[in-house]
């Protein structure tokens, strides 16, 4: 579903024609015959389900009670399938909102954004699932609050298109301080696990509603077997909720995460004896990131055959037009590969696809708990986890590791970001970037109970990737695919967050609890796989095809004084040369994904920034 609308802050009747104009601008296909409209006093709303799902009658609710509209999906066990559950979930959510207010949101699983409306008190709530990828954006002026599931809908409402220079500067310097900020001034996204509450003529209030962030990882370890057993049960529940009875595709790369999701989904469909599971794999013949041998190992282990897709080159014309039409940044070339998978899934007649996203986020296991062990004086487990060996060189190595990973974060909790060499510092003057950094570091430090607690949420990475994830998710929805990520399911993530860092961590082996939980869902070769395919070469190929960073010469980043093009080109040449040898720069800011930010922002400013 896609929805959009207008809420009058002054209590005057809203104009339904504005909501209709916003809906007409949607990039997600709209079946005009199934459009539902709702107009009551200050609220005007227009919504349409995706054509594959048919009409959604939830907007026909009377003004006697609260209204709920959901874009996305929620698991509906015991029904004819998870993909039929949206109407029932919306009705139940409306009833829960009437009884308990926004407290009911914390119990709603799945990946969704929701609109809640109580006509009795003229209260509007816009909310987004914790760990959700779907988006709702808002713009507010003196009298109105306009909202939509797409940025293009807000532009169609006639909002002024003004670039937020501070947001552009933060994106260029990789120092984003909020997850709700967008590149357009005054336009904000609702953060995941958060809501915007507007009622009684008061100013809109933004706040978090999820209890997931309050879980503090324990220091006391449990056995890997115990943790794996609990995680396996949660993962099976997550996959069960994500796979509709009508069947689904699953993106299979041959890595631990996607292979495990494929194995669990395969076992689930076999038990149900209904629906179809279609593994879809990208292959790159002759390229170092081709994972065909791992895919074949999964196929042999499960007795399945995946649909092989060989992606074509990055389509610059397509993604520039996409940016102009949607107001989103263009997807990174290695992320744009997903479009080929989505097209193959749709060609097979399926509308739901699963991914292995989330494994690296929650289950990798790292040394984030070491500063907490050191602060608490728990030196014995810290020493055990530093490795083995007692000869002088091994002892020196272990001490250096403890100094860097345990003592270092306690000494320098907030280091000032280093500007990439291609940024012109004078262009950043007056944007208060230092002050914004001070405030966000203080908020990050105050919002979590331990170093491990804070680092598991990877706040900086989440803020930095928000716009890219918005673009990828919208591309999937526009293609008619409901893209689901069971490893981001709150029930599975809760298991990870309640597992001690020492249980998750193993020197030289990532995801040891996840691997143990996977059990028979993984072939032995993938179960012990330690390497990981890197797709940086896809970025190199795409930029080389467009003429290199010289493409930026006449663009707004250069002409506007943001960057030194020569310095950027030199950094790009070094990073691309390393990528061709299978290596990455020692300075993270000089890596290809970071340099892609220049192209991403230049494209957006040229085609969508106003």
Instruction: Indicate which CATH number applies to the domain containing 296.
Output: 3.40.50.620
Q: Is 10 exposed, middle or buried (0-12, 13-18, 19+ CB in 10 A)?
A: exposed
Closest CA to 143 of 206, 201, 220: 201
Asked if residue 285 has pLDDT above 70, the reply is yes
Q: Give CA–CA dist 79/69, Å, rounded.
A: 20
Q: 149 lies in a domain?
A: yes
Helix (H, G, I), strand (E, B) or coil at 461: helix
Both 358 and 498 in one domain: the answer is yes
- End of a domain among 214, 244, 269? 214
pLDDT digit string (tens) for 491-515? 999 999 999 999 999 988 999 999 9
Same-domain pairing of 306 and 192: no
Asked whether residue 421 is assigned to any structural domain, the reply reads no
- Examine the domain organization and report whether 160 and 24 are in the same domain: yes
pLDDT average, residue stretch 110-114:
94
Q: Are residues 121 and 42 in the same domain?
A: yes
pLDDT tens profile 345-383: 999 999 999 999 999 999 999 999 999 999 999 999 999
DSSP assigned state of 363? S
CA atoms within 13 A on the CB side of 576: 17
Instruction: Look at residue 519 in the predicted model and tell me its pLDDT.
Output: 95
Q: Categorize the per-residue pLDDT at 82 as very low, low, confident or very high, splitting at 50, 70 and 90.
A: very low
One domain, residues 162 and 246: no
What confidence score (pLDDT) does residue 77 get?
46
Shared domain for 522 and 550, answered yes or no, is: no
Residue 306 lies in a domain: yes
76/239: higher pLDDT: 239
Query: Does residue 10 belong to any structural domain of this protein?
Result: yes
Q: Does the pTM of the predicted model rise above 0.75?
A: yes
Dihedral angle sign, alpha carbons of residues 325, 331, 337, 341: negative
Q: At residue 424, does pLDDT exceed 80?
A: yes
Residues 60 and 199 in one domain: yes
Specify if 314 maps to a domain.
yes
| Judgement on whether residues 241 and 350 belong to the same structural domain of the protein | yes
Spatial distance between the Cα atoms of 365 and 510, rounded to a whole number of angstroms: 6
Cβ-Cβ contacts under 8 Å for 454 (sequence gap 6 or more):
444, 445, 447, 448
Residue 44 structural domain: 2-214
Residue at which a domain ends, from 504, 527, 550: 527
Does residue 440 lie in a domain region?
no
pLDDT tier, 84 (very low <50, low <70, confident <90, very high otherwise): very low
Span 319-354, pLDDT tens digits:
999 999 999 999 999 999 999 999 999 999 999 999
Q: Are residues 357 and 503 in the same domain?
A: yes
Three-class DSSP category at 118: strand
Find the range with the poorest average confidence among 12-26, 73-87, 327-341.
73-87
Q: Are residues 185 and 127 in the same domain?
A: yes
Residue 20: its pLDDT value, please? Answer: 95
Residues 188-211 pLDDT 10s: 999 999 999 998 678 899 999 999
- Mean pLDDT of the 443-456 span: 93
Which residues lie closer than 8 Å to 54 by C-beta, 6 or more apart? 34
Q: What is the mean pLDDT of residues 125-133?
A: 95
Last residue of a domain, one of 153, 181, 214: 214
pLDDT the model gives residue 83: 41
Q: How confident is the model at residue 413 (pLDDT cuts 50, 70, 90)?
A: low
């Amino acid at each position: 579903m896609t929805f959009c609308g207008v809420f009058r802050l002054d209590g005057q009747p809203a104009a339904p024609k504005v909501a209709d104009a916003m809906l007409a601008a949607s990039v997600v296909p709209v079946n005009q015959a199934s459009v539902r409209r709702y107009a009551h006093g200050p609220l005007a709303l227009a919504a349409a389900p995706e054509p594959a799902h048919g009409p959604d009658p939830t907007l026909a609710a009377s003004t006697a009670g609260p209204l709920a509209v959901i874009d996305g999906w929620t698991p509906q066990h015991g029904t004819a399938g998870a993909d039929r559950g949206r109407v029932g979930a919306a009705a139940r959510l409306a009833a829960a909102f009437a009884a308990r207010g926004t407290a009911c949101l914390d119990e709603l699983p799945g990946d969704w954004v929701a609109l809640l409306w109580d006509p009795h008190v003229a209260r509007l709530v816009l909310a987004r699932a914790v760990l959700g990828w779907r988006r709702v954006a808002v713009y507010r002026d003196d009298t109105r609050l306009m909202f939509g599931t797409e940025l293009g809908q807000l532009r169609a409402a006639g909002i002024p298109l003004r670039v937020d220079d501070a947001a552009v500067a933060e994106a260029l310097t990789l120092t984003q301080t909020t997850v709700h900020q967008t590149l357009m001034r005054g336009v904000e996204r609702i953060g995941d696990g958060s809501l915007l509450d507007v009622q009684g003529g008061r100013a809109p209030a933004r706040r978090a509603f999820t209890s997931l962030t309050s879980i503090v990882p324990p220091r006391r370890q449990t056995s890997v077997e115990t943790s794996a057993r609990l995680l396996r049960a949660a993962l099976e529940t997550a996959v069960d909720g994500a796979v509709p009875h009508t069947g689904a595709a699953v993106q299979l790369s041959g890595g631990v995460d996607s292979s495990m999701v494929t194995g669990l989904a395969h076992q689930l469909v076999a038990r149900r004896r209904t629906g179809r599971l279609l593994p879809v794999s990208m292959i790159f013949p002759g390229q170092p990131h081709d994972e065909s041998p791992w895919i074949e190992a999964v196929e042999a282990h499960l007795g399945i055959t995946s649909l092989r897709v060989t992606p074509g080159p990055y389509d610059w014309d397509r993604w520039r037009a996409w940016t102009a039409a949607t107001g989103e940044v263009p997807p990174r070339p290695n992320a744009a590969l997903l479009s080929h998978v989505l097209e193959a899934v749709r060609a097979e007649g399926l509308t739901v696809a699963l991914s292995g996203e989330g494994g690296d986020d929650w289950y990798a296991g790292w040394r984030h708990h070491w500063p907490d062990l050191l602060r608490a004086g728990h030196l014995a487990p810290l020493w055990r986890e530093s490795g083995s060996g007692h000869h002088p060189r091994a002892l020196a190595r272990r001490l250096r590791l403890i100094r860097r990973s345990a003592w270092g974060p306690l000494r320098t909790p907030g280091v000032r970001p280093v500007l990439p060499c291609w940024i012109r510092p004078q262009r950043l003057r007056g944007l208060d970037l230092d002050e914004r950094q001070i405030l966000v570091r203080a908020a990050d430090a105050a919002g979590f109970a331990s170093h491990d607690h804070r680092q598991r949420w990877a706040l900086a990475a989440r803020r930095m990737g928000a716009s890219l994830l918005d673009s990828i998710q919208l591309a999937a929805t526009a293609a008619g695919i409901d893209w689901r990520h069971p490893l981001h399911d709150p029930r599975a993530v809760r298991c990870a967050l309640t597992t001690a860092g020492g249980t998750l961590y193993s020197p030289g082996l990532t995801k040891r609890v996840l691997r143990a939980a996977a059990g028979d869902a993984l072939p032995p070769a993938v179960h012990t796989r330690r390497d990981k395919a890197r797709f940086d070469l896809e970025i190199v190929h795409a930029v080389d095809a467009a003429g290199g960073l010289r493409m930026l010469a006449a663009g707004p980043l250069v002409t506007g004084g943001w960057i030194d093009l020569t310095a950027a080109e030199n950094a790009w040449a070094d990073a691309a040369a390393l990528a061709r040898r299978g290596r990455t720069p020692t300075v993270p800011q000089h890596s290809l994904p970071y340099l892609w930010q220049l192209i991403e922002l230049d494209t957006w400013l040229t085609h969508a920034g106003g």
